Amino acid sequence: MTNLLRTRGINVRFAVHPVSGRMPGQCNVLLAEAGVPYDLVFEMDEINDDFGDTDVVLVIGANDTVNPISLEPGSSIAGMPVLHVWKSKTVVVMKRGMASGYADVPNPLFYKSNTRMLFGDAKDLCEALKVGIEKVPK
């Protein structure tokens, strides 16, 4: 999907939270194994300010690391650094279901007016999106 979008002139970048994956650094390794060029992969601090100028963010499997409730002083994850994806025009979240993340905190991102939820296996959903994009005339 990345190559397809890039051939159509779409700026594609990957944002990686420091604790994403099952262990720190796992997502970077998986992206490298998938052949994603290093210059498309950004750490949270490098990309967070860009979300306000972003048309679409595709969130795959994340929960706590994109939870805006971390900005609320009284929340149990207050102060946790998160990716500010909700600032983009549209957020598409891929998850298997609405279960909470490791912190067991509700995520208001999932209910924001600019968020769309896609439920299912992320690999299958990405493939379906790719097929849909291929059908759109250039």
Residue 121 lies in a domain: yes
**Tens place of pLDDT for every residue, the chain, 138 residues?**
999 999 999 999 999 998 888 888 899 999 999 999 999 999 999 999 999 999 999 999 889 999 999 999 999 999 999 999 999 999 999 999 888 888 889 999 999 999 999 999 999 999 999 999 999 998
pTM of the shown model: 0.92
CATH classification at residue 30 = 3.40.50.1220
Contact 30, 21 (CB under 8 A): yes
Residue 134 lies in a domain: no
List the catalytic residue out of 45, 49, 50, 64: 64
DSSP-assigned beta bridge partners for residue 90? 56
Would you call 64 a catalytic residue per the annotation? yes
Residue 118 lies in a domain: yes
Contact 88, 112 (CB under 8 A): no
Q: Which letter does DSSP use for residue 24 in this model?
A: T
Q: Residue 60's domain spans which residues?
A: 2-126
Number of domains in the chain: 1
CA distance 53 to 44: 15
Residue 71 lies in a domain: yes
